[in-house]
């Protein structure tokens, strides 16, 4: 229970922004998960500039006190976080009424920001990092304080413009405009190499927003569990006979870290035997203790015995194995343990500094080698990747279905000289999860990670919203075409079991893969329930950027685009602009996220439903575009599922008129004389 005195003090502190008196210097906390020290990349002149940049948030009389402190932070941590200014109040998503605001939209955004910084949710809360090691909400605490102050003052005739965590200010706009516009890491394209990020982030002029970190839309681990479950269920469907289930069939993979840790839980929901190898004992134990893996095994012989037993008894079982994934692939090959589905979720987007641990070294030895002999470490990683790929090839020859999980496994294995290339030039012999599964089965039909947050903070509202979603989806399924019956079923099962799976961490949030029709109808039903008082406070709608239309990323979200346009970013840019004037409460567009700085452009939105007629008009207009933009682009790229979906949408939406591709007969191309 929050006392009214606490609420008043909290409101005052928020409205104050940067305090009028210089706060005491704080000792750096020890017990929390701190962000790694960043590269010391600036020269002396640049460091002066970084300190000068940081001091512009504060009155001149504090500069002498703060200048050296900020330089020390820069030298120690590689960034200036301004720890002294971190507020003393508890950081978490309060019920919406607790926020001082002139519009409930601004209050909802404050709630979402605080959720992203809640220590129960955020990976490195002291450094304002929500997830992914570097997914920042703000660059420093002054930006947080100022932003919250602006939001507390904002009216429905103003828009707050956020430049990579820095609030440029409130500008006059109008009530139909977004209340907040966010950009993160947008660079002149030639300045988008990894070291550019290090440099300009250290200078305090840009940040890496990942996807839902810098756009205030992170909802903890349930987003990943749902996406991984959808992927795994469909991976099994690709190889199982009709009517056959996944019981007693092995899914072999690796990684029990941030996202990868969802795999055993997703395996349990799918109903298979999951074997997930993890070299870091702490990570393996943590996931087991959290109940995300049913058992933990540390000995290879014991693993073999238990897996054979589980196969014989057709069990559903998830095993966290403390050991290297390469050894497991090789041992299972030797023992002839049939692996039905295989993947890998080591962090190969970051291969040389701890994303991938080579076979033959234990965790501590590998970490030591990274420091003492990075060149030898690199050789060992590449050797290990060649071994891993060779063993996977042996399994594939026996019938294993292997897919790349968007972690750059195939890319790095190919760079290491492993045999992973296919028969066509520049193509791997295994698909990515988007090429084979999420792209054709979900994104091309418009299904993606729609989500919502109940701003009352009351679990009863979440229960009510789950129930509404089930009713709406069941109704839609009754007339849905055969092509999307499977997806509808999966989503109904997911939402029916969502509460039982106990995945809420932080705000009262839910994720659900839904298509344009599902998203709009669920949202309209929520709005109606709020109007009628069945849900007690506004609901925030949003989605992951990893979706149908939000993200252009040639090796992940758009890896199933084959017309050459996978290297363009028009779709993500159109999406953010298109959403902004169709009713989004806030929009964001980012460089980087998931696969790395310079490798992806991704965007998202937030929309506050308050039960009003205006909210209903906005949701109808914006959610329709937010999904169909991507389907149109995917259909123009000749993806047959997207062609089906966009034609179906045109047939029922007379104002939609999309350019359709004419398909060319293979013979016409084959007969060309060059
Ligand atoms: N889950 C998803 O939906 C999804 C989607 C796209 C991409 N990815 C990618 O998956 C990768 C993993 O993400 P994360 O957040 O879990 O990263 P993470 O770094 O938190 O976890 C990776 C884990 O792999 C372990 N590991 C490394 N080498 C190993 C080896 N040889 N054998 C066994 N374990 C080993 C590490 O100790 C670490 O705990 C990233 O590259 C991410 O971009 C995941």
Closest CA to ligand 1's atom 6: 406
- In this predicted model, what pLDDT tens digit does every residue of 299-335 receive, in sequence order? 999 999 999 999 999 999 999 999 999 999 999 999 9
Tell me what pLDDT residue 3 has: 60
**Binding site membership of 432 for ligand 1 (Cβ less than 6 Å):** no
Separate counts of helices (H) and strands (E) for the chain: 22, 17
- In this predicted model, what pLDDT tens digit does every residue of 127-165 receive, in sequence order? 999 988 889 999 999 999 999 999 999 999 999 999 999
Eight-class DSSP state of 26: P
Split at pLDDT 50, 70, 90, the class of 1 is: very low
User: Whole-angstrom Cα distance, residue 390 to residue 567?
Assistant: 30
Tell me what pLDDT residue 22 has: 96
Tell me what pLDDT residue 202 has: 97
Asked if residues 594 and 190 have their Cβ atoms less than 8 Å apart, the reply is: no
Closest CA to ligand 1's atom 1: 259
Using the predicted structure, report yes or no on whether residue 525 has a pLDDT greater than 60: yes
**Binding site membership of 323 for ligand 1 (Cβ less than 6 Å):** no
State the Rg of the chain over Cα.
Answer: 25
Closest CA to ligand 1's atom 21: 257
Strand 166-172 relative to strand 158-163, pairing: antiparallel
Tell me what pLDDT residue 427 has: 84
Eight-class DSSP state of 183: E
If you measure from the C-alpha of residue 346 to the centroid of ligand 1, how many angstroms do you get, rounded to a whole number?
A: 3
**Binding site membership of 356 for ligand 1 (Cβ less than 6 Å):** yes
Mean pLDDT of the chain: 95
- In this predicted model, what pLDDT tens digit does every residue of 73-125 receive, in sequence order? 999 999 999 999 999 999 999 999 999 999 999 999 999 999 999 998 888 89
How far are the Cα atoms of 122, 209, 293, 427, 430 from residue 132, in angstroms, in the given order?
A: 10, 10, 21, 28, 26
The per-residue b/e assignment along 318-350, b for 16 or more CB within 10 angstroms, e otherwise, is bbbbbbbbbbbbbbbbeeebebbbbbbbbbbbb
pTM value?
0.92
Instruction: State the CB neighbour count (10 A cutoff) for residue 305.
Output: 13
Tell me what pLDDT residue 389 has: 98
Tell me what pLDDT residue 56 has: 98
Using the predicted structure, report yes or no on whether residue 556 has a pLDDT greater than 70: yes
User: Whole-angstrom Cα distance, residue 611 to residue 655?
Assistant: 26
User: Whole-angstrom Cα distance, residue 83 to residue 413?
Assistant: 41
- In this predicted model, what pLDDT tens digit does every residue of 412-459 receive, in sequence order? 999 999 999 998 877 899 999 999 999 999 999 999 999 999 999 999
- In this predicted model, what pLDDT tens digit does every residue of 12-23 receive, in sequence order? 999 999 999 999
39: nearest Cα among 207, 208, 199, 205:
199
User: Whole-angstrom Cα distance, residue 290 to residue 257?
Assistant: 13
Query: Ligand 1: which of 124, 221, 346, 409 to mutate, judged by most atoms within 8 Å of the beta carbon?
Result: 346
**Binding site membership of 347 for ligand 1 (Cβ less than 6 Å):** yes
Tell me what pLDDT residue 39 has: 82
- In this predicted model, what pLDDT tens digit does every residue of 145-155 receive, in sequence order? 999 999 999 99
If you measure from the C-alpha of residue 132 to the centroid of ligand 1, how many angstroms do you get, rounded to a whole number?
A: 10
If you measure from the C-alpha of residue 344 to the centroid of ligand 1, how many angstroms do you get, rounded to a whole number?
A: 8
The SS3 assignment for 370 reads helix
If you measure from the C-alpha of residue 557 to the centroid of ligand 1, how many angstroms do you get, rounded to a whole number?
A: 17
Using the predicted structure, report yes or no on whether residue 501 has a pLDDT greater than 90: no
Q: Which residue has the higher pLDDT, 535 or 38?
A: 535
- In this predicted model, what pLDDT tens digit does every residue of 213-248 receive, in sequence order? 999 999 988 888 999 999 999 999 999 998 899 999
């Amino acid at each position: 229970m929050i006392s009214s005195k606490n609420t008043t003090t909290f409101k005052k502190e928020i409205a104050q922004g940067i305090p009028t008196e210089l706060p005491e210097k704080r000792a750096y906390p020890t017990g929390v998960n701190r962000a790694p020290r960043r590269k010391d990349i600036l020269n002396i002149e640049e460091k002066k500039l970084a300190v000068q940049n940081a001091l512009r948030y504060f009155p001149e009389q504090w500069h002498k006190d703060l200048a050296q402190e900020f330089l020390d932070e820069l030298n120690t941590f590689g960034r200036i976080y301004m720890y002294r200014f971190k507020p003393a109040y508890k950081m978490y998503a309060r019920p919406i009424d607790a926020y001082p605001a002139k519009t409930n939209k601004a209050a909802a955004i404050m709630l979402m920001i605080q959720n992203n910084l809640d220590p129960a949710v955020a990976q490195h809360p002291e450094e304002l990092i929500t997830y992914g090691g570097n997914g920042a909400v703000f660059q420093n605490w002054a930006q947080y304080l100022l932003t919250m102050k602006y939001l507390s003052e904002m009216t429905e005739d103003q828009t707050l413009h956020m430049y990579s965590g820095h609030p440029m200010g409130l500008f006059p706009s109008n009530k139909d405009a977004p209340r907040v516009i966010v950009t993160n890491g947008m660079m002149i394209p030639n300045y988008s190499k990894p070291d550019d990020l290090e440099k300009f982030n250290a200078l305090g002029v840009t940040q890496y927003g990942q996807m839902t970190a810098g756009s205030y839309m992170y909802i903890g681990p349930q987003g990943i569990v749902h996406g991984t479950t959808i992927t795994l269920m469909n991976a099994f469907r690709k190889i199982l006979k009709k009517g056959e289930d996944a019981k007693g069939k092995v899914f072999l993979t690796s990684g029990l870290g941030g996202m990868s840790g969802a795999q055993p839980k997703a395996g349990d929901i799918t109903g298979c035997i999951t074997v997930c190898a993890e070299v870091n004992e702490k990570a393996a134990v943590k996931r087991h203790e959290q109940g995300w893996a049913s058992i933990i095994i540390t000995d290879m012989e014991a693993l073999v015995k238990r897996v054979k037993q589980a196969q014989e008894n057709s069990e559903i079982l998830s095993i966290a194995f403390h050991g290297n994934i390469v050894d497991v692939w090789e041992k299972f090959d030797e023992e002839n343990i049939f692996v039905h589905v295989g993947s890998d979720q080591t962090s190969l987007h970051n291969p040389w500094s701890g994303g991938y641990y080579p076979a033959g070294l234990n965790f501590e030895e590998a970490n030591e080698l990274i420091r003492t002999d990075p060149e030898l470490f690199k050789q060992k990683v590449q050797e290990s990747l060649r071994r891993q790929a060779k063993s996977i090839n042996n399994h594939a020859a026996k019938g294993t279905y292997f897919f790349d999980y968007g972690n750059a496994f195939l890319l790095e294995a190919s760079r290491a000289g492993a045999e992973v290339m296919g028969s066509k030039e520049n193509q791997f012999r295994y698909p990515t999860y988007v090429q084979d599964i999420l792209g054709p089965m979900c994104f091309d039909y418009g299904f993606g990670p729609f989500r919502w947050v109940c701003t009352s903070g009351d679990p009863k509202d979440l229960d009510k919203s789950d129930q509404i979603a089930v009713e709406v989806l069941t109704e839609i399924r009754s007339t849905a075409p055969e092509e999307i019956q499977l997806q509808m079923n999966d989503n109904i099962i997911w939402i029916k079991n969502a509460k039982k799976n106990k995945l809420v961490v932080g705000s009262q949030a839910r994720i659900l893969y839904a298509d344009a029709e599902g998203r709009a109808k669920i949202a309209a039903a929520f709005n109606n329930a709020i109007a009628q008082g069945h849900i007690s406070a506004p609901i925030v709608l949003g989605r992951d950027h990893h979706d149908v239309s939000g993200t252009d990323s040639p090796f992940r979200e758009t890896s199933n685009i084959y017309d050459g346009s996978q290297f363009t970013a028009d779709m993500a840019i159109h999406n953010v602009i298109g959403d902004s004037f169709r009713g989004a409460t806030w929009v964001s567009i980012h460089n980087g996220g998931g696969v790395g700085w310079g490798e992806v452009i991704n965007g998202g939105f937030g929309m506050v439903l308050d039960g009003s007629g205006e909210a209903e008009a906005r949701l109808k207009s914006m959610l329709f575009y937010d999904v169909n933009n991507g389907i149109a682009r995917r259909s123009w790229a000749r993806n047959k599922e997207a062609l089906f979906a966009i034609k179906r949408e045109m047939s029922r939406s007379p104002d939609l008129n999309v350019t359709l591709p004419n398909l060319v007969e293979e013979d016409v191309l084959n007969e060309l004389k060059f």
